[in-house]
Structure 1
Amino acid sequence: MPPVFRFAPSPNGYLHLGHAFSALLNADLALASGGRLLLRIEDIDRTRCRPEFEQAIYEDLAWLGIAWDGEVRRQSDHLEVYREAVARLSAKGLIYPAFESRAEIARLVADKETVAPWPRDPDGAPHYPGIGKQLSAEKRAELIAAGVPYALRLDMAAALALAGELSWQEFGCGPEGETGSIAARPEAWGDVIIARKETPTSYHLSVVIDDALQGVTEVVRGADLFWSTSVHRLLQHLLGLPAPVYRHHDLVRDAEGRKLSKSTGATGLRELRAAGVSPLDIRTMVGLAAAV
């Protein structure tokens, strides 16, 4: 079977050079291997994702000369699939509702760090320090019935007890040059969020389900997601999903060495196009050779 690649942007802003690099690299690898390239729109964040950004993705990819195979998968069209996965994890006793707000969690962490450093995940966010796991079933039901917002978190200790040791095959490299067989360390993330009251999924959950349902065999994405793969391998194991191989690539950075980001106003491809930059110029700017 030919390999299957995917490009999976979120329509919460305009694509920039970092997105162009990842999209072009996926397209180049698919072409060179005789494989397929799929397009997925990761639009579960309904507060930030907008139709005009999604339309701009299609326009930018067409301008770059990137074509994809089959229909576009939009995550917002498949929320019931994610709900079913949450129900499966819940039936295994692996998730619980946590009711603290972000501000409350920040205060709890600050209190704990007056005594000793509190563990943080690879992205620098503190592990969940609340009491959600200790609440009784009756108290949880009472809070939910009262309409209190909540996040569904993975009981990491229980999940690891079921899964044991996990690894993935890395054909790119990690932050420290890691490659080959990589030992997964999902415990580094603490009790990660699997879904929320208002959104029946999360990035971690939806990405592993989508990759499996779309038959993705090669995940090519930025090195900033390298250690997220640990959580993805754990969820794949718990849900009985196949594991693709991974290729994490270097990030395109600005003059100050920061990764390009929509939130920091990185120059969009549409602006570069309006300024007269060509698709070949884009390839040169991100360090890719001209397409064959």
Structure 2
Amino acid sequence: MNNSLKDSEYRGRFAPSPSGPLHFGSLVAALGSYLTARAAGGRWLIRIEDIDPLREQPGASLAFLDTLSAFGMQSDEPVWFQSRRLAHYRQALEQLIASGHAYSCMCSRAQLQAFGGIHPAVCPDGSDGDRPRSWRLRVESAGSIVTDDRRSGAFSQSLADTVGDFVIWRSDDWPAYQLAVVVDDAAQGITEVVRGADLLDSTPRQIWLQRCLGFPQPGYLHLPLAVDAEGRKLSKSDAARPIDATNPLPSLRAALAFLGQDAVMADQPDAFLAEAVAQFDDKRIPATNTRLIAGLNPISR
């Protein structure tokens, strides 16, 4: 967290995608962001990132909110749903087009294979004129983007060499994750983004978007990612069974231990969270980017 920020100015968020029930990995991200915001005396917001209809599971958004509430975590402000904010994302896209930062593209994945999957500075010849268009952000002038992560330190990435011009508006006429998250973090005044380490690689793209749009840059803290015995993140693993909203304390205790914090013995979610906030120490969050959950069975414990 930026030391120049007063505690009362801290604004954090939890922003899940409703592609399935809340699992242990999602709980770690929710709890980590919640404790960080509360320990700073700040506000904690929930945003539902529901802009991928093909992956969205019906009813998952409300199930997320019900589960978080059962675990004692409720948004300090009305919950935002990205599917209701499309006009804001399109306005940002139009700004990027007008400034020359964005251009339309009809390249297919097969065409980009010749470039190692990285889009070059200019679209390759042979684009299908009948293919739906996406919009990409130019990265040639971005240089090396350095993220100063509060847990893991500096992370540097040359967008031109590792990512290339990336999609900010998909060919199915929906905003891409990178654009929507940047627009909403700015609109909600988020001062620090606390989320899983699987999104560390996305941070330089988001910083570049912030610069292109003239938005302030929040701080970042990426939490260890919960993985199964094969090293797979839980959203792609059989271990991603739903957590039990009728019995939240076992999962809360497991998530708190996963974050390297001292045990809490309170027997009600609200009391548990209050005690966890009081003793929270972000320096105790493990520095590794992944942590095995074997032996930390949060479902049956």
- TM bracket, shorter-chain basis: 0.7 to 0.9
1:230 counterpart residue number: 204
Root-mean-square deviation (CA, aligned residues, Å) is 2.6
SS of residue in 2 equivalent to 1:194: strand
Residue among 48, 66, 82 paired with 1:59: 66
Q: TM-score, normalised by structure 2?
A: 0.76
Q: Measure the CA separation in 2 of the matches of 1:12 and 1:40.
A: 14
TM-score by length of 1: 0.78
Contact 1:44-1:199 at 8 Å conserved across structures: no
Q: Structure 1 residue 243 and structure 2 residue 222: aligned? A: no
Q: 1:242 to 1:275 in 2, by over 3 A?
A: closer
2:71–2:248 CA contact under 8 A, matched in 1: no
Q: Per-residue displacement from partner, 1:182-235 (whole Å, max 9, x unpaired)?
A: 445322211111102323411111111100000000101111111211111110
Aligned equivalent of 1:283: 255
The size of the alignment, in residue pairs, is: 256
Partner residue, 2:118: 127
Asked if the contact 1:100–1:130 (Cα under 8 Å) also holds between the matched residues in 2, the reply is no
Match of 1:41 in 2: 48
For 1:66 and 1:267, how far apart are their aligned partners in 2? 20
2 CA distance for matches of 1:225 and 1:268? 21
Q: Equivalents in 1 of 2:150, 2:188: separation in Å? A: 21
SS of 1:212's equivalent?
helix
Structure 2 spans left out of the alignment, 5+ residues: 1-7, 265-272, 276-301
Q: For 2:64 and 2:78, locate their aligned partners in 1 and report how far apart those are by CA, in whole Å.
A: 15
Alpha-carbon distance in structure 1 between the residues aligned to 2:57 and 2:232: 26
Percent identity among equivalent residues? 36
Q: For residue 296 of structure 2, what is the aligned residue in structure 1?
A: none
Residue type of the alignment partner of 2:92: A
TM-superposed deviation, 1:129: 5.8
1:128 Cα offset (Å): 2.5
Superposition pairs of residues 1-292 of structure 1, within 5 angstroms: 1-102=8-109, 104-105=110-111, 109=113, 112=114, 118-119=115-116, 126-128=117-119, 132=123, 143=129, 148-157=131-140, 160=141, 163=142, 166-173=145-152, 179=153, 181-187=154-160, 188-261=162-235, 263-270=236-243, 272-273=244-245, 278-283=250-255, 286-287=258-259, 288-289=261-262, 290=264, 291=273, 292=275
Q: 1:130 to 1:233 in 2, by over 3 A?
A: closer
Q: Aligned equivalents of 1:279 and 1:59: distance in 2?
A: 15
- Distance in 2 (CA, whole Å) between partners of 1:63 and 1:2 is 27
CA offset at residue 251 of structure 1? 0.7
Contact 1:26 1:220 in 2 (8 A): yes
CA contact (8 A) 1:222 1:249 kept: yes
> What's the CA shift for 1:83?
0.7
Deviations 1:136-178 (A, max 9, x none): xxx99xx3xx5x3122112222xx2xx56643432011xxxxx
